[in-house]
Chain A
């Protein structure tokens, strides 16, 4: 088998609903064995895209390849791809065992084989004791494990997950994020997860496609998306970002009244073009006296502090920026509302975006 070929290739995949374009000519490759996240705000088309891969929506244009086979026109029940539904969609009239066995029964496997594989999967998902329960007597977390088990028992080439953790409470969600990641490594198949939670995507995924209005805004691994966002949208969606708007000048951007803020100007911009400089909260440090050695410094007045336990975020009012400046500090230095300070950062940590 050619392991360098992507397990799924989407070519110019599009979907129109009447006049609305939900998915706009998306081409992307999903690699064998990777954990891929489709991230974006609601309405960006990520769920539609996932459903098209599963086969529940037919693309208005474009082709989909599973390995070397063109599966665009294949019905969902014939695709070696399985979907874990957001509502879990467990069959209410069947027990846990019945639910998990269903997919194998569709494959017409011999009874004994089905039983063996179901037992294996139930064991792995720690559901063996609940095997004879009906879905209405399961907790949210248990239902989710059943939904997963039901899909995985069929050993699909790709597992699609539609907002798998949305229905869980925060603590459980954090546990399940790592659990899913571990599971994916253990099983070794490609997972494609749809989520609107950027933190979740950063934790779980090997690669993330951030979508916006039907297009992929940026595709890359979590570190790249966080530290080198390609556009303002990406910088703002992933994590928290501070923005200074201005015009391109020598060595940076001119953002009055702060003067020139230094940074690397992207090639496609020229002198005088409008641009934005972005810097992450944890890269800014505060000084009461004006520092001489810092690359960049702007004056700000402390508005509020938010205590996060492990650290503190300081919100400052700074001249001529649209929102409050957010700075993340370790919590050992204290600042008072009304205090006037200098906010500083190194040029290396700033990015200039078009």
Chain B
């Protein structure tokens, strides 16, 4: 039987292989995006032309704009509501029903949530568009923001609230000068996470966007590009989207240290 050192070595090698497994596909896409030929058949030289094609495609540009509108709006709304929800939830008695309710959006299959929202909007004769996507995105964003802020609140020494009151501050001053600054990094991290989720989200957007170019988001466009004909600029698109995601996640980590859990 292998000794301890042997086992450890094997585990370490395995980890490297796992990293390779996780990152090689991504690297392949990045390299391909720089291939003049565009397709993986042959490497004809280094070129940034596909990025140019992207920038000049009106469909892409409009999709990016729509995506940003949705993401920013959904983030702002869900950050505020999610934070308030976390604060309220932490003050209430522990309730597994409440916890389940807050956990649900994260676990419900997105296709089910998508059809549910579509049914809901249809029933109300609600016109679909970017706004319906925003309303839908807030649902899962609230859950994530709330979870992150709640974790921060849990590690919060509640006696500093009493200390603030003891030293003469009223309720609102205490909130403004003590509670808010202390939970703010959590709120920011949650907001970044919500933003990231929104810009990547496909299924719910697909179902709640309604017809028309004016409410097509980037993931919807990417899906169309993949499904209905792979064109080379998709690699460039993929690379950009990857970089943006990575940057946002790293930023979120910076802000809210000590929380590698989603």
Task: Give the residues in chain A near B177, CB-CB below 8 Å.
Answer: 102
Task: Give the residues in chain A near B182, CB-CB below 8 Å.
Answer: 91-93
Inter-chain contact A89/B163, CB cutoff 8 Å? yes
Inter-chain contact A91/B169, CB cutoff 8 Å? no
Q: Is A85 an interface residue (CB 8 A)?
A: yes
Closest to B185 in A: A93
Task: For the complex, give the distance between the alpha carbons of A55 and B162 in Å.
Answer: 10
Q: Is B40 an interface residue (CB 8 A)?
A: no
Q: Is A258 an interface residue (CB 8 A)?
A: no
Q: Is B211 an interface residue (CB 8 A)?
A: no
Task: For the complex, give the distance between the alpha carbons of A154 and B168 in Å.
Answer: 10
Closest to A81 in B: B166
Task: For the complex, give the distance between the alpha carbons of A77 and B162 in Å.
Answer: 9
Give the total number of A-B pairs whose CB atoms are below 8 A apart.
61
Task: Give the residues in chain A near B225, CB-CB below 8 Å.
Answer: none
Inter-chain contact A106/B173, CB cutoff 8 Å? yes
Tell me the minimal C-beta distance from B93 to chain A in angstroms. Answer: 14
Q: Is A54 an interface residue (CB 8 A)?
A: yes
Q: Is A87 an interface residue (CB 8 A)?
A: yes
Q: Is A296 an interface residue (CB 8 A)?
A: no
Question: B72-114 vs A: 1/0 string, CB under 8 Å?
Answer: 0000000000000000000000000000000000000000000
Inter-chain contact B163/A85, CB cutoff 8 Å? yes
Q: Is A103 an interface residue (CB 8 A)?
A: yes
- B139-173 contacts to A, CB under 8 A, are 157, 159-160, 162-170, 173
Q: Is A82 an interface residue (CB 8 A)?
A: yes
Q: Is A189 an interface residue (CB 8 A)?
A: no
Closest to B161 in A: A89
Q: Is B181 an interface residue (CB 8 A)?
A: yes
Q: Is A336 an interface residue (CB 8 A)?
A: no
Q: Which of B165, B168, B169, B182 has the most CB of A within 10 A?
A: B168
Tell me the minimal C-beta distance from A144 to chain B in angstroms. Answer: 14
Inter-chain contact B160/A92, CB cutoff 8 Å? yes
Q: Is B203 an interface residue (CB 8 A)?
A: no
Inter-chain contact B162/A85, CB cutoff 8 Å? yes
Q: Is B178 an interface residue (CB 8 A)?
A: yes
Tell me the minimal C-beta distance from A262 to chain B in angstroms. Answer: 53
Task: Give the residues in chain A near B165, CB-CB below 8 Å.
Answer: 56, 75-77
- A87-101 contacts to B, CB under 8 A, are 87, 89-93
Q: Is A175 an interface residue (CB 8 A)?
A: no
Q: Is A150 an interface residue (CB 8 A)?
A: yes
Q: Which of B162, B163, B170 has the most CB of A within 10 A?
A: B163
Tell me the minimal C-beta distance from A104 to chain B in angstroms. Answer: 9
Task: For the complex, give the distance between the alpha carbons of A193 and B227 in Å.
Answer: 73
Q: Which of A54, A82, A85, A91 has the most CB of B within 10 A?
A: A91
Q: Is A216 an interface residue (CB 8 A)?
A: no
Task: For the complex, give the distance between the alpha carbons of A110 and B181 in Å.
Answer: 24
Interface size on B, residues (CB 8 A): 17
Inter-chain contact B162/A56, CB cutoff 8 Å? yes
Q: Which of A75, A106, A150, A151 has the most CB of B within 10 A?
A: A106
Partner of A76, one of B159, B160, B162, B181: B162
Task: Give the residues in chain B near A102, CB-CB below 8 Å.
Answer: 164, 167, 169, 177
Closest to B159 in A: A89
Partner of B160, one of A75, A77, A78, A89: A89
Task: For the complex, give the distance between the alpha carbons of A92 and B159 in Å.
Answer: 12
Partner of A106, one of B157, B162, B167, B181: B167
Task: Give the residues in chain A near B160, CB-CB below 8 Å.
Answer: 89-92
Q: Is A83 an interface residue (CB 8 A)?
A: yes
Closest to B184 in A: A93
Question: A48-64 vs B: 1/0 string, CB under 8 Å?
Answer: 00000011100000000
Task: Give the residues in chain A near B170, CB-CB below 8 Å.
Answer: 77
- B172-218 contacts to A, CB under 8 A, are 173, 177-178, 181-182
- A148-184 contacts to B, CB under 8 A, are 150-151, 154
Given contacts A56-B162, A92-B182, contact A82 B157 (CB under 8 A): no
Question: A126-162 vs B: 1/0 string, CB under 8 Å?
Answer: 0000000000000000000000001100100000000
Question: A205-243 vs B: 1/0 string, CB under 8 Å?
Answer: 000000000000000000000000000000000000000
Inter-chain contact B157/A89, CB cutoff 8 Å? yes
Inter-chain contact A77/B166, CB cutoff 8 Å? yes
Q: Is A289 an interface residue (CB 8 A)?
A: no
Task: Give the residues in chain B near A91, CB-CB below 8 Å.
Answer: 160, 163-164, 178, 182
Q: Is A107 an interface residue (CB 8 A)?
A: yes
Closest to A56 in B: B162
Inter-chain contact A106/B178, CB cutoff 8 Å? no
Which 3 pairs show the lowest CB-CB distances between chains A and B? A106-B168, A103-B167, A89-B163
Instruction: Name A residues whose Cβ lies closer than 8 Å to a Cβ of B.
Output: 54-56, 75-78, 82-83, 85-87, 89-93, 102-103, 106-107, 150-151, 154
Instruction: Name B residues whose Cβ lies closer than 8 Å to a Cβ of A.
Output: 157, 159-160, 162-170, 173, 177-178, 181-182
Q: A90-B163, A103-B168 are known contacts; what are 11 more A-B pairs with Cβ within 8 Å?
A: A77-B167, A77-B169, A85-B163, A87-B159, A89-B157, A89-B163, A91-B160, A91-B178, A92-B182, A93-B181, A106-B169
18 contacts between A and B (CB under 8 A): A75-B165, A76-B162, A77-B166, A77-B169, A78-B168, A85-B159, A89-B157, A89-B162, A90-B160, A91-B178, A92-B157, A93-B181, A102-B164, A102-B177, A103-B168, A106-B169, A106-B173, A154-B168
